[in-house]
Amino acid sequence: MSRKVAVLLISILIIVGALIAYRIIENQKNAEAQDAGRGKSADAKVYGIVAHGEPFSDYLSLTGSIEPNEIITLRSEISGIVEELNFQEGTTVNGGQILVRINDAELRAQLAQANTRNDLAAENERRAKLLLEKQAISQEEYDIASADYRTAQSQINVIEAQLSKTQVRAPFSGKVGLRDISKGSYITPTTDIAQLVNMNKVKLQFSIPEKYASRVRNGINVKFTVQEQADEFVATVYATEPAIDANTRTLRVRAIADNHNYILIPGTFANVVFPLETIEQGLLVPTEALVPIQNGKKLFVLKNGLAREILVETGGRTEADVLITKGISEGDTILTSGVMALREGSTVDVTLCSN
């Protein structure tokens, strides 16, 4: 009796196990079928824009520096004691104005002596000429007297030239900086007196990559800003270096700007905006719409409800958009979000946004 019970129990367990296994297999099949159905029917939800032409100005953002229109370090041509200082530090002076006068007493004494010798030589030359006319002396003797007279005159010119060097004049109008000497100082031609700077105009110096060097022309206006100044300034290009710098592969450019109010201080850095070109109907797309690939960049475009890959070429950019120069046309719908997860031919549900 017990043997029959055991067989019965074993049979029941086998039947129950078979039923459980069957149900599990059926549930897995149903789940897979549902998942497959959902994968086929679900579309990727993305955002997009319709490309249309709009004005676009391409430019380069560069760094430069402000330089004075003219700048020199004032020095004396001769050595001596400073007798007069005719300028105040930080003030404006006129071109030709005497700034420093050096003691010239010794040179004036030499000039007086030379004038006396010149008078004597002139008298001797006059007498020799009269004697020559009377044939009382030879031509050679007259020539010696005449040469002495011309030598005396030359000596006066030399001393007068030295006297003019005792006055240090401003070569141009400008602002004098801090002086390094005082009245009574002994100075030499190597002694710095002060700096003289012409700041009515300032030079803007910057370098442009060689790729764009051919676009630099004299007369082009560039905009620039400096720190702690809200205003935007304009400078006009007037000169460039004749060759590209071999080390930096850039071309050095200079422009000039008005500075009558002395707002721009030489030596400060400047942020320069160099214009490249203006496109009347440029096609701009958001930066996030671009997908970098090995051979360049691509976009996804909506065609017949599917996402299609388009290889594109780019140009300039703004803070948020990129100019597309090749690959798309006006009126194309550009997919702008979720593009990293898209594949060629993916079905998409697109919500259009305004540009």
- Cα angle vertex 86, ends 85, 90, to 5°? 100
pLDDT confidence of residue 38? 45
Read off the CATH number of the domain in which 204 is found: 2.40.30.170
pLDDT confidence of residue 196? 96
| 345 and 320 share one domain | yes
Read off the CATH number of the domain in which 173 is found: 1.10.287.470
Distance CA 69, CA 134 (A): 66
Instruction: Decide: 79 and 187 in contact? Cβ < 8 Å.
Output: yes
Do the domain assignments include residue 193? no
pTM, full prediction? 0.64
**Amino acid in the structure at residue 293:** I
- 323-326 contacts, C-beta under 8 A, 24 or more apart: 323/56, 323/58, 323/279, 323/282, 323/283, 323/284, 324/51, 324/283, 324/284, 324/285, 324/299
First and final C-alpha spacing in the chain: 88
Average pLDDT, 10 consecutive residues per value, the chain (355 residues)? 65 71 69 50 76 83 94 95 94 95 94 94 91 88 92 94 95 94 95 95 95 90 91 94 94 95 92 86 86 87 88 83 87 85 84 77
| 208 and 312 share one domain | no
Structurally, how many domains does the chain consist of? 3
Which residue, 187, 221, 245, sits at the end of a domain?
187
| 49 and 154 share one domain | no
pLDDT confidence of residue 75? 96
Which residue, 253, 277, 301, sits at the end of a domain?
277
Q: What percent of the chain has pLDDT over 90?
A: 53
Do the domain assignments include residue 152? yes
3-state secondary structure labels for all residues of the chain:
CHHHHHHHHHHHHHHHHHHHHHHHHHHHHHHHHHHHHHHHHCCEEEEEEECCEEEEEEEEEEEEEEEEEEEEEECCCCCEEEEEECCCCCCEECCCCEEEEECCHHHHHHHHHHHHHHHHHHHHHHHHHHHHHCCCCCHHHHHHHHHHHHHHHHHHHHHHHHHHCCEEECCCCEEECCCCCCCCCEECCCCCCEEEEEEEEEEEEEEEEHHHHHHCCCCCEEEEEECCCCCCEEEEEEEECCCCCCCCCEEEEEEEEECCCCCCCCCCEEEEEEEEEEEEEEEEEEHHHCEEECCEEEEEEEECCEEEEEEEEEEEECCCEEEEEECCCCCCEEECCCHHHCCCCCEEEEEECCC
Instruction: Decide: 307 and 344 in contact? Cβ < 8 Å.
Output: yes
pLDDT confidence of residue 16? 66
| 267 and 309 share one domain | no
Do the domain assignments include residue 13? no
Do the domain assignments include residue 97? yes
3-state secondary structure labels for all residues of 91-134:
CEECCCCEEEEECCHHHHHHHHHHHHHHHHHHHHHHHHHHHHHC
Structural domain containing residue 341:
44-58+279-352
| 93 and 54 share one domain | no
Do the domain assignments include residue 219? yes
Sign of CA dihedral 174, 179, 184, 190: negative
Q: What percent of the chain has pLDDT over 70?
A: 90
Q: Which two tokens stand for residue 38?
A: 């959902």
| 205 and 155 share one domain | no
Do the domain assignments include residue 24? no
| 88 and 123 share one domain | yes
Which residue, 223, 251, 277, sits at the end of a domain?
277
Do the domain assignments include residue 53? yes
| 129 and 223 share one domain | no
pLDDT confidence of residue 39? 46
pLDDT confidence of residue 355? 65
Q: Which residues are CB-contacts of 26 (< 8 A; sequence separation ≥ 6)?
A: none
Instruction: Decide: 88 and 76 in contact? Cβ < 8 Å.
Output: no
| 81 and 167 share one domain | yes
Q: Give the model confidence (pLDDT) of 27-41 as tens digits.
A: 666 656 555 444 444
Read off the CATH number of the domain in which 340 is found: 2.40.420.20
| 241 and 315 share one domain | no
| 157 and 241 share one domain | no
| 273 and 176 share one domain | no
Do the domain assignments include residue 180? yes
For strands 44-50 and 348-352, give the pairing: parallel
Residue 267 Ramachandran class (φ > 0 left, ψ -120 to 50 alpha, else beta): left
